[in-house]
Amino acid sequence: DGRTVHVIERDLSEPDRIVGELLQPGGYLRLIELGLEDCVEEIDAQRVFGYALYKDGKNTKLSYPLKKYKVDVSGRSFHNGRFIQRMREKASSLS
């Protein structure tokens, strides 16, 4: 869009908290559109294909409807701090 953006960070160290993230498949598709899909690589991200529900000794699985997408589209689960660092690396590589 021709916009100039300045990113200001108070601290560039990796966040040191026990926080996980679950990026839904739609979020991963958005990363692809933005050219940022490599930000979930090399951070031990796990592919997620749906949910498992447990209640009163019963369980069921709910899968994401992914059949119309290419093979690597799925959700991703990862450590928040590692993802933040990858996004920072990507931002700092841009002019």
pLDDT confidence band for 85 (50 / 70 / 90): very high
Q: Are 51 and 61 in contact (CB under 8 A)?
A: yes
Q: What is the pLDDT of residues 13-68, one digit of tens each?
A: 888 777 788 999 999 999 999 999 999 999 999 999 999 999 999 999 999 999 88
Give the C-alpha separation, 80 to 15, whole Å: 8
Q: Is the pLDDT of residue 70 over 90?
A: no
pTM, full prediction: 0.79
DSSP state of 14: P
40, 58, 73, 81, 85 from 13: Cα distances, Å: 18, 43, 30, 9, 8
Q: Flag whether pLDDT at 69 surpasses 90.
A: no
